[in-house]
Amino acid sequence: MTIHFESNRVAGIKSSPSMAVATAAKALKAKGVPVVDLSLGEPDFNTPAHIVAAADEAMRQGITRYTQPDGLLELREAIVAKYKRENGLDYALDEVSIGNGAKQILFNAFLGTLEPGDEVIVPAPYWVSYTDIVILHGGLPRIVSCGVEQDFKITPEQLEAAITPKSRWFLFNSPSNPTGAIYTAQELRALGDVLARHPQVAIMSDEIYEHIICGVVPFTSFAVACPDLRDRTLLINGVSKAYAMTGWRLGYAVGPKNLTKVLNKLQSQSTTCPSSITQYAAAAALNGPQEFVHKAVAEFKARGELVAKGFAAIPGLEVRAPEGAFYLFPKCAPYIGRTAPDGTRISNDTDLAAYLLSEGKVATVPGAAFGVEPYIRLSFATSRENLTIAIERVADALAKLR
């Protein structure tokens, strides 16, 4: 008899689609195939030297033991100072929660607050893991489609229509993965006006790409735009994207202490705490010089302009220039229903992404992974040389479809 190990909860979700594409791309590269991998949102820069030095110093000082579940005092103080300095927001030390990446913060938040059948309103396109994390914890994602025709942003009218007596959270991401869209302060206030009428709905604002601004629209934190909703708003952030620290695994959140208390209790029973060494390094990132961030953002902006121009020139792709983050999310409707040179029919954007990998040797993620079709997501967190090659290869591959 074979033991069945997978629970019904886990059977109800899928593996991360972006990680699946990245794994396939890496496997091809290992075989010598010259794939340009635009699948993962991971900066191609090395972590700044002063952050690495801080980690080394932590180990030399013996900061290698468990920390409190809510994290090192030095890091919590750095997070509180960051919000005061950069956002004009005042949070107390007990209004901070630290996790092994922002994804764990999301995991803890839904595990700690959702009852079976609770609804989470999620505008689509959304980051690939949002809905599965909700489902895993017994919640029901209530998806609101927001295509390129509305700049990938939910409207107040759509939000109002999506709210039901079972609504528990409104979850959104600005700057957005996968679209690069940014909600203006005025747009956030309009959403806040709707939420103010529904006190049972909490707000989860994923602001992990806060510093990566590629256009003229400035970043505004939801808590800044809607201060009256502070007591039911959780701001999620981390050091992965701005400081090129994806592998260090450090995310954080600030919110009302009756919520962060729940998150920290869960932390105490799961991973206990993030790595003490990583926490010390993250404090150095937040407190230290920010020149790296400014230089990296300037490079991302140049890359964003390159890919927006390059892919917009490909017939049939509908491109919206990214305002933030490091993704392009072109609509590819004219290519659905066409046939590849080997006779394979391109029935949807998943087929198209597979075709671009096999024929064009460019790894992309299909829009279906983000809750909308037909689109593809391209990460421009790689060199301009790679991006130029990718543009040429995608153009050539699409031109072969009939």
**Ordered alpha helix ranges (H), 274-331:** 276-287, 291-312
pLDDT at 13: 78
DSSP 243-262: TT-GGG--EEEE--HHHHHH
Are residues 33 and 385 in contact, defined by beta-carbon separation less than 8 angstroms? no
For residue 52, is pLDDT > 80? yes
Which tens digits make up the pLDDT trace of 319-376?
999 999 999 999 999 999 999 999 999 999 999 999 999 999 999 999 999 999 999 9
Q: How many residues does the chain have?
A: 402
Residues of the chain with pLDDT > 90, as a percent, come to: 91
At 121, the pLDDT band (50, 70, 90 cuts) reads very high
Q: What is the DSSP string of 177-207?
A: TTT-----HHHHHHHHHHHHT-TT-EEEEE-
Query: Can you tell me the mean pLDDT for 110-126?
Result: 97
pTM greater than 0.85 (yes/no):
yes
> What is the reported pLDDT for 30?
84
Strand 119-124 to strand 36-37: parallel, antiparallel, or no bridges (unpaired)?
A: unpaired
DSSP class of residue 84 equals I
Q: What is the pLDDT of residue 5?
A: 84
Catalogue all structural domains in the chain, each as residue range(s) with its CATH number: 8-46+292-399 (3.90.1150.10), 65-287 (3.40.640.10)
Q: Per-residue pLDDT tens for 9-51?
A: 888 877 777 777 778 888 878 888 889 999 988 999 999 999 9
Contact 119, 166 (CB under 8 A): yes
- Identify how many contiguous H helices and E strands the chain contains and give both numbers: 14, 12
